[in-house]
Amino acid sequence: MRKPLSPDVRQYLIVTGNYWAFTLTDGALRMLVVLHFYQLGYTPLEIALLFLFYEIFGVVTNLVGGWLGARVGLNRTMNIGLFLQIVALGMLLVPASMLTVAWVMTAQALSGIAKDLNKMSAKSAIKLLVPAEAHGTLFHWVALLTGSKNALKGAGFFLGGVLLAWLGFQGAVGAMAGALLVIWCLSLMLLKDDLGRSNAKPRFRDVFSKSRAVNVLSAARLCLFAARDVWFVVALPVYLSQALDWSSSQTGGFMASWIIAYGLVQGLTPRFIHRDQSRPVSGRTAMGWAAALTLVPALIALALTQNLPDSLLLICGLLVFGVLFAINSSLHSYLIVSYADRENVSMDVGFYYMSNAMGRLLGTVLSGWVFQVYGLGACLLISSVLILLASLISVALPR
C-alpha cells in the first residue's frame, strides 16, 4: 500500500502549484504587453516604461511583504498575490481606447505587487517545511521550485505569443484571468493558515536585514539580474521582431524555449555542483560561477559585429549564457533561504528579493533606453560589466 504524503510535502506541493499557476500567467502577460504594444507602434523605451511601475512596486512589495508575511502568515500573502494578479488582468480587459500608458502602467504595478508577494511567500515557505540541518534537501527543493518556475515562465512567454495570435490581446487576458480565479479559490481552501507567521510580531523597521551574509548576497543579486534584464526584457524581443523580422509566435516561442531550458538547468543544478549533500554550498561557489559568466555577453556582442548570421549567433550565445546564468541564479536562491533567519525567514527573503526587484528595475529601464540609442551590442556589454560587479561582490560571501 502506498504511503500517504506527509502534511509538509502536501503544503509544499500546494505552494509550488500556486507559484506555477501564477508564473505561467505572469510570463504570458509580459510577452503579450511587449508584442502587442510594439505592434501598436510604441518605441522600445516606451515599452520599457510600461514595466516601470511593475519593477518599482516590486521593490516596495518585497520589503513590506516580508514584514506582512511574518505578521499574518505566508498563506495570506500568497493568496493576496493571486487575487491582485486577477485584478491586474481584469484592468486590461477594458476597451482598446482606454489602454493608455498610465492605465497599463497601473495594471503592471498591481501585477508587480502580486508577483513579488507570491514569490516571497513561496520561497520563504520552503525554509519552514525542511528540517534545519537538511542542507541537501533544502538545495534540491529550492532548485526544483525555482527551476520549474522559470520553465513555466518560459512556457508563459510562448503562451503569450500564441494567444496573442490566436485570441487577440483581450481574449488572451480574459482566458488567463478566468484560469487564475479557479486556482485562487482552491488555494483559499487548501493552504495552511499559520504558515510562516512569526511568534514575535516584528516591527516594520526590522525589514532591513541585519545579516551581513544576506546584505552581500542581495547586492550581488541586484547586479546579476540587472545584467540579465538589460538585454533580455525589451531589447531582445524587439530586436528579434525588428532586425530579424520574426513573428510574435516565433519571438514568443524562442524566448519560451530559452527560459524553459534555463529553468531545467536550475532544477538540475544540485546534481552538477553539490555532490556532498551533508554540507551547505559556500559563497566561494557562487563567486566562481559568477566569474565564469562574466565574458559571455561581451563575446556575444563581439560576435554580432562579424559577418555571421545574427540568429545563429544569438541562439548559440544565449544557450551558453542561459546554462551559466541558471546555475548562478539557482545558487543564489538556495543561499538566501539557507542564510535567512528561521524565525523571520520572510523578512530576510523579502529584503533579498527587494534587491532582485531593484536589479530588474535597473535592467528594464536600461534595456529600453540603451537599445533604442545604441543597440543590442551595447546592452550586452553593460551586462558583462554588471556580472563582473556581482562576481566581485560575491568575494565577501561566507566561505
Q: Quickly list DSSP for 274-324.
A: ---TTSPPPHHHHHHHHHHHTTHHHHHHHHHTSSS-HHHHHHHHHHHHHHH
User: Stretch 162-181: mean pLDDT, rounded?
Assistant: 85
For residue 167, being part of any structural domain is answered with yes
- 10-to-15, 130, 309 alpha-carbon distances in Å: 9, 13, 49
Residue 9 pLDDT class (50, 70, 90 cuts)? low
How does pLDDT run across 54-108, given as a tens digit for each residue?
777 777 777 776 667 666 677 788 888 889 989 999 998 888 777 777 888 888 8
- 231-to-22, 333, 371, 376, 379 alpha-carbon distances in Å: 24, 22, 8, 7, 5
| Diameter over CA atoms, the chain | 65
Under 8 Å between Cβ of 248 and 39: yes
For residue 364, being part of any structural domain is answered with yes
Task: Give the CATH number of the domain where residue 338 resides.
Answer: 1.20.1250.20
Answer whether residue 10 shows pLDDT above 90.
Answer: no
For residue 399, being part of any structural domain is answered with no
Mean pLDDT for the chain? Answer: 78
pLDDT at 383: 94
Cell of 11: 503544503
Answer whether residue 8 shows pLDDT above 70.
Answer: no
Number of domains in the chain: 1
For residue 2, being part of any structural domain is answered with no
Cell of 331: 545558487
For residue 56, being part of any structural domain is answered with yes
* Chain CA centroid to CA 342, Å: 23
For residue 1, being part of any structural domain is answered with no
For residue 151, being part of any structural domain is answered with yes
User: Stretch 7-24: mean pLDDT, rounded?
Assistant: 75
Q: Which domain holds residue 325?
A: 7-394
Cell of 191: 493552504
Among residues of the chain, what percentage have pLDDT more than 70?
79
Residue 224 pLDDT class (50, 70, 90 cuts)? very high
How does pLDDT run across 355-367, given as a tens digit for each residue?
888 898 888 888 8
For residue 30, being part of any structural domain is answered with yes
How many residues would you count in the chain? 399
Answer whether residue 1 shows pLDDT above 50.
Answer: no
Under 8 Å between Cβ of 163 and 175: yes
Q: Which residue has the higher pLDDT, 166 or 295?
A: 295
Residues whose CB falls within 8 Å of the CB of residue 133, separated by 6 or more in sequence, listed in order: none
Helix, strand, coil: what percent of the chain each, to 5? 80, 0, 20
